[in-house]
Structure 1
Amino acid sequence: MLDILYQDDYLIAINKPSGWLVHRSWLDKQEKVVIMQTLRDQIGQHVYPVHRLDRPTSGVLLFALSSQIANLMATQFAMHQPRKIYYAVVRGYVNQANIIDYPLVEELDKIADKFSHKNKPAQSAITHYRPLSQIEIPMAVGKYSTARYSLIELKPLTGRKHQLRRHMKHIFHPILGDSKHGDLHQNRAFSEFFAIHRLMLHASELTFIHPITQQTIIINAPTGIQWQNIITQFKPLVD
Structure 2
Amino acid sequence: MARPKGPSIELLYRDAALVGVNKPSGTVVHRGWAKDEVVVMTVTRDLIGQWVYPLHRLDRGTSGVVLFGLSSAIAARANRCFETGQVRKRYLALVRGITPAAGTIDHPVPNKAKGPRVAAVTHYRRLDTFERFSLVEALPETGRLHQIRRHLKHISHPLVGDVNYGKGEINRMFRSRFGLHRLALHAVSIALPHPETDNLVTIVAPLTDDFAGPLAQMGLLPAAQAAVAAPVSAAEPGPKKTTSRPPGSGPGQAS
TM-score between the two structures when normalised by the length of structure 2: 0.80
Note the 1:91-106 alignment, pairs <5 A: 91-106=96-111
Work out the CA distance in 2 between the residues paired with 1:26 and 1:130. 33
> Which residue of 8, 28, 33 maps to 1:21?
28
Q: Which residue of 1 aligns with 2:93?
A: 88
Counterpart CA distance in 2 for 1:26 and 1:81 is 28
The letter of the residue matching 1:199 is L
Q: Is the 8 A contact 2:110 2:145 kept in 1?
A: no
The corresponding residue for 2:234 is none
Kept in 2, the 8 Å contact 1:101–1:125? The answer is yes
Alignment partners' CA distance in 1, 2:96 and 2:17: 40
User: 184, 187, 206: which is aligned to 1:203?
Assistant: 187
The residue number in structure 2 matching 1:61 is 66
Q: Secondary structure at the match of 1:54?
A: coil
Aligned to 1:219: 203
Q: How high is the sequence identity, in percent, across the aligned residues?
A: 46
CA deviation map 1:25-50 (0-9, x unaligned): 4541xx23311111111111100001
CA deviations 1:98-145 (Å, max 9, x no partner) are: 110111133416xxxxxxxx5x3x211110011111112xxxxxxxxx
Return the index of the structure with the highest Cα Rg. 1
Q: What SS is found at the alignment partner of 1:199?
A: coil
**Which one is further off, 19-28 or 152-161?**
19-28
- Is contact 1:16-1:61 (8 Å) kept? yes
* Residues 158/230 of structure 1: CA separation in 2 closer, same or farther (3 Å cut): same
Instruction: Please state if 1:231 is matched with 2:215.
Output: yes
Match runs of 1:1-239 below 5 Å:
1-25=8-32, 27-28=34-35, 31-108=36-113, 118=115, 120=116, 122-136=117-131, 148-232=132-216, 233-234=218-219
> How many residues were matched structurally?
213
Runs of 4+ in 1 over 6 A off after TM superposition: none
Gaps of 5+ in 1: 110-117, 137-147
Matched residue, 1:139:
none
Deviations 1:37-96 (A, max 9, x none): 111111111000011111111001000000000011111111221100000000111241
Q: Distance in 1 between matches of 2:89 and 2:157?
A: 20
The residue identity in structure 2 corresponding to 1:33 is V
Unaligned runs of 5+ in 2: 1-7, 224-255
